[in-house]
């Protein structure tokens, strides 16, 4: 996510951070590089120009230039302005005091609108609400069927009927009242490109139904075209917020940085993967930190707490501390980490994670992780618990069973042994306490 922009910003700040004393000329030179990084990331020209002007106004003051760490002060100012550029605080959805709360999703075909409606329903249910998914796309073949299938996958109520889109929406609210459901999510029709018929149809729904939140779904990878789509929808229909999909594949970040300033509407949620659980509340401060290579530890801990079994994590921590951690435990941890999403996204939340991903061979791919798991699972239970008994004959059998090479089996065993040796060295009260994660015995 935003890897290209992070690399360019990192290069832009090198000169500023390496100097103990900064002049206005130094700041201007650094901000020129930042401006080029933003433009290369496909940020709107006017947005980039105004952003640099506001940062410079704050960065060339006497309090900054004469501070003990002027370079870090400038980076902090850039961070704060990026947070503002991304919309500042994001309260998420506001629920109606008189249920049901009615949400409507808009967007072009291919933006992930229908899938996002299902993702949104799942997220809302996790917050303690009872949503109803409504298929009101009466144009795209099988659109209703797709939404119904997605609803069944996560056991969420679904409704549709054979009628005009606005009539389906009206009937859905009655259905929600009848079934005691407190949130209605209306999935409207999309087109391959903007046209007046689509805009007229969603406008009729807004006129006939009280919509509490109108969410526009845009594809982050389309760059400034996403901004153009959002501008048209806001002008013709009116939107309350934006859901940006395919953020996990957006290396540039131009659309995310341009939307709030050009359209005037905030990003509410972001899609970070293909699974229905891969939808997150958009946190501008956390996203700014990731863009600047500072990581996002808060989100990482939240993901760990949400997806990892706490009792199992504590038991594993105890085994690590006591030196009793086995390959069987290791494969269990691999599966826990997989629940948190693509490994690349998890690594990206670590400070400096972008640099780690750039190091050749430093980060295993999803395929590498699958091969690793296959090798471990090809061992017997005794071998996983006591890898020291694995001799040459056993290695050849494990390699055949996993479809890998003996050399790869050796690498797994060597890497695991090194990890156990490291844990032995860290025992004895030297293990640090990590906020949000279970404490290790003897840790501080």
Query: 3-85: which CATH number, 1.20.120.140, 2.70.170.10, 3.40.50.1820, 3.40.50.261?
Result: 1.20.120.140
Kindly report, residue by residue over 392-442, the tens digit of the pLDDT.
999 999 999 999 999 999 988 887 887 677 666 555 444 444 343 333 333
Kindly report, residue by residue over 353-363, the tens digit of the pLDDT.
555 444 444 45
For the domain spanning 101-294, the CATH number is 3.40.50.300
Q: What is the rounded distance in angstroms from the CA atom of residue 389 to the CA atom of residue 413? A: 11
105, β-bridge pairs? 187, 215
Does pLDDT of 109 surpass 60?
A: yes
pLDDT of residue 115: 93
% pLDDT > 70, the chain: 77
Considering only CA atoms, which of 200, 210, 118 is closest in space to residue 165?
200
187, β-bridge pairs? 105, 135
Considering only CA atoms, which of 112, 111, 157, 162 is closest in space to residue 136?
162
- 3-85 shares its CATH topology with 299-426: no
With vertex at residue 297, the alpha carbon angle to CA 291 and CA 302, rounded to the nearest 5 degrees, is 120
Q: How would you label 342-356 residue by residue, b for 16+ Cβ within 10 Å and e otherwise?
A: bbebbbbbbeebbee
Higher pLDDT, 429 or 58: 58
Provide the mean pLDDT of the chain.
80
Q: What is the rounded distance in angstroms from the CA atom of residue 89 to the CA atom of residue 399? A: 52
pLDDT band at 174 (very low <50, low <70, confident <90, very high): very high
Question: Please, are residues 147 and 112 in contact by the beta-carbon 8 Å criterion?
Answer: no
Q: What is the rounded distance in angstroms from the CA atom of residue 441 to the CA atom of residue 1? A: 36
Kindly report, residue by residue over 252-296, the tens digit of the pLDDT.
677 888 888 888 888 999 998 888 988 988 888 888 887 877 655
CA 161 vs. chain centroid, Å, equals 34
% pLDDT > 90, the chain: 30
Kindly report, residue by residue over 5-23, the tens digit of the pLDDT.
788 888 888 877 777 777 8
- The domain locations on the chain are 3-85, 101-294, 299-426
159, β-bridge pairs? 134
- DSSP-derived secondary structure letter, 248: G
Q: According to the CATH classification, is domain 299-426 in 1.10.260.30?
A: yes
Considering only CA atoms, which of 294, 198, 258 is closest in space to residue 44?
258
**Alpha-carbon distances, residue 306 vs 90, 126, 310 (angstroms):** 21, 11, 9
User: pTM of the full predicted structure?
Assistant: 0.67
């Amino acid at each position: 996510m935003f890897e290209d922009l992070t690399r360019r910003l990192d290069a832009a700040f090198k000169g500023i951070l390496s100097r103990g004393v900064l002049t206005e000329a130094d700041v201007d030179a650094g901000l020129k590089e930042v401006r080029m990084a933003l433009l290369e990331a496909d940020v709107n020209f006017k947005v980039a120009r105004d952003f640099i002007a506001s940062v410079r106004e704050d960065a060339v003051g006497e309090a900054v230039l004469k501070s003990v760490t002027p370079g870090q002060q400038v980076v902090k100012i850039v961070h704060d302005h990026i947070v503002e550029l991304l919309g500042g605080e994001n309260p998420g959805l506001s629920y109606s005091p008189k249920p049901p709360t009615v949400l409507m999703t808009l967007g072009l075909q291919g933006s992930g609108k229908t899938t996002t409606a299902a993702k949104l329903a799942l997220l809302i249910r996790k917050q303690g609400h009872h949503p109803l998914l409504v298929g009101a796309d009466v144009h795209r073949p099988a659109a209703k069927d797709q939404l119904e299938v997605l609803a069944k996958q996560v056991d969420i109520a679904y409704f549709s009927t054979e009628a005009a889109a606005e009539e389906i929406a009206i009937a859905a609210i009655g259905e929600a009242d009848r079934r005691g459901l407190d949130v209605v999510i209306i999935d409207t029709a999309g087109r391959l490109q903007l046209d007046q018929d689509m805009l007229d149809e969603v406008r009729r729904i807004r006129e006939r139904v009280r919509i509490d939140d109108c969410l526009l779904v845009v594809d982050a990878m389309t760059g400034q075209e996403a901004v153009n789509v959002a501008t048209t929808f806001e002008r013709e229909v009116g939107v309350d917020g934006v859901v940006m999909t395919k953020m996990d594949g957006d290396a540039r970040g131009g659309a995310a940085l341009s939307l709030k300033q050009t359209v005037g509407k905030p990003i509410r949620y972001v899609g970070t993967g293909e699974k229905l659980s891969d939808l997150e509340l958009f946190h501008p401060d956390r996203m700014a930190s990731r863009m600047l290579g500072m990581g996002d530890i808060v989100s990482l801990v939240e993901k760990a707490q949400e997806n990892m079994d706490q009792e199992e994590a504590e038991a594993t921590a105890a085994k690590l501390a006591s030196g009793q951690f086995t390959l069987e435990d290791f494969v269990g941890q691999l599966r826990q980490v997989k629940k948190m999403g693509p490994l690349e996204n998890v690594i990206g939340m670590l400070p400096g994670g972008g640099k780690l991903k750039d190091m050749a061979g430093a980060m295993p791919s999803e395929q590498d992780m699958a091969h690793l798991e296959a090798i471990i699972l090809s061992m017997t239970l005794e071998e996983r618990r006591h890898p020291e008994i694995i001799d040459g004959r056993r290695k050849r059998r494990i390699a055949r069973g996993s479809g890998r090479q003996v050399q790869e089996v050796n690498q797994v065993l060597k890497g695991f042994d090194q990890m156990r040796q490291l844990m032995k060295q860290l025992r004895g009260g030297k293990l640090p306490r990590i906020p949000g994660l279970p404490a290790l015995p003897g840790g501080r």
